[in-house]
Amino acid sequence: MGHLSKFLLPLVLALAPGSNARACQQSARTFEAENAILTGTKVESTLSGYTGSGYVAGFDEGSDKITFNIPSSITKLYDLSIRYAGIYGEKRTTIVLNGGDNTEVFLAATETFTTVSAGQVLLKEGNNTVDIVNNWGWYLIDSITIKPSEPRAPHNINPSLNNPNAGVEATTLYKYLVSIYGKKILSGQQDLSWANWINTQIGKTPALVAVDLMDYSPSRVERGTVGTSVEDAITHHNNGGIISVLWHWNAPTGLYDTEERRWWSGFYTDATDFDIAATLANPSGANYTLIIRDIDAIAMQLKRLQSAGVPVLWRPLHEAEGGWFWWGAKGPEAAKQLWNLLYDRLTEYHGLNNLIWVWNSIEPEWYPGDSTVDILSADVYAQGNGPISVQYNQLVELGNDKKLIAAAEVGAAPLPDLLQAYEAHWLWFAVWGDTFVNNAQWNSLEVLREVYNHDYVLTLDEIQGWRNTV
């Protein structure tokens, strides 16, 4: 089980039938922020509606935090919630358990105090610390509450893809993914070159490789880019691997191309004046024609993969809800409309039946609907190699536990023992490349060896029979 085994064994014993230890930690416990250890923060009482004697404010520097000391008589998994006020707009905070794994929590804008789920924490026997660390800052914290987690109910995953004409390669891959869900996790890496780096460092190759169609975007091609991602995908497929594809879609037009925002950063909202909402509202306009041109250009690359027999975990419009990419800059309705256009153009017009459609945002208002989404996913960049349980549980709720769920991009590879302890049944993880997979602050070689040699983690050599799934 790796270096966490001694820590997790008491959890197994505590959950055993008839355990007296289990009964002693069943009630919810609330900890007031004003009684915690404050670092760079302060107690206030100006905003009404708080509990206790006040709340904590002053989150305006990166190191600002609150530290809660939480004793536990046993090792046990708890649901964690935060009572906060988001009077300065929507924000994000970071939860750190016992100085280790980090979890990012989204705090919606509010006018009063409200409660948000902050995922789960696996408390060890003895004293534990839970830090709430600045991140975006500018929010008010009233208290936290922990409550024993209930065991996860069995999943009820859709047995087939949405596309009734899906090809045998895609349907076979999907059946294989369903068969391992909740039992194993696929190791994954962004870019074939970094997958090869993993093999050089630890002697194992990721089961899944993610590639980017960015350099096939027409506004990049016309400036001289030459994509090689399709060739990389076919190479990994021919070695028995699984392929995920994203697209950093350079805006079709309106690139600023300044010293600060060069043309090659044209997928960012602040690098273009391209307005997707206005474009979609005018189907006879020139910009709409350019959108179709771009989709058709990418369709040609996806057809190359289809011709090579490669099923694709297709993840366009990633991180739309963040707003930092132009396809999410005009809000959820425009993003959903663009998703539906992509789905119709690629599936119906181009007949691409090798695609398994992967949605990549968490907030419900952004979700385009079950009928065009096969798999749900999130991109999470949090240090500490934790289980990313907050986002997993949010996606379970979004899909009513009928959709497979993937950690499509991560900064830190999740430790398998924690994934199992938290019952965070991610289907795959894919670590981002340079500055993440090769950065010891995010992924030490010790951790990568533990991950890639764990029984719960599938590597390339262990999935060679997936094409025989029936």
Q: Considering 32, 34, 409, 450, which one is annotated as catalytic?
A: 409
Distance (Å, whole) CA 68 – CA 97: 10
Distance (Å, whole) CA 119 – CA 401: 16
Order of strands, edge to edge, in the sheet holding 102-107?
Answer: 37-39, 65-72, 126-133, 91-97, 102-107
Residues 6+ apart with CB under 8 A from 203: none
111 a catalytic residue: no
Type of residue at 231? E
Q: Considering 32, 319, 321, 450, which one is annotated as catalytic?
A: 319
Using DSSP bridges, classify how beta strands 37-39 and 42-44 pair: parallel, antiparallel or unpaired: unpaired
Distance (Å, whole) CA 53 – CA 247: 50
Three-state SS string over the chain comes to CHHHHHHHHHHHHHCCCCCHHHHCCCCCEEEEHHHCEEECCEEECCCCCCCCCCEEECCCCCCCEEEEEEEECCCEEEEEEEEEECCCCCEEEEEEECCCCEEEEEECCCCCEEEEEEEEEEECCEEEEEEEECCCCCCEEEEEEEEECCCCCCCCCCCCCCCCCCCHHHHHHHHHHHHHCCCCEECEEECHHHHHHHHHHHCCCECEEEEECHHHCHHHHCCCCCCCHHHHHHHHHHCCCEEEEECCCCCCCCECCCCCCCHHHCCEHHHECCCHHHHHCCCCCHHHHHHHHHHHHHHHHHHHHHHCCCCEEEECCCCHHHCCEHHHCCCHHHHHHHHHHHHHHHHHHCCCCCEEEEECCCCHHHCCCHHHCCEEEEEECCCCCCCCHHHHHHHHHHCCCCCEEEEEEECCCCCHHHHHHHCCCCCEEEECHHHHHCCCCCCCHHHHHHHHCCCCEEEHHHCCCHHHCC
Closest by CA to 229, choosing from 356, 314, 344, 335, is 314
259 a catalytic residue: no
Q: Which residues are catalytic?
A: 319, 409
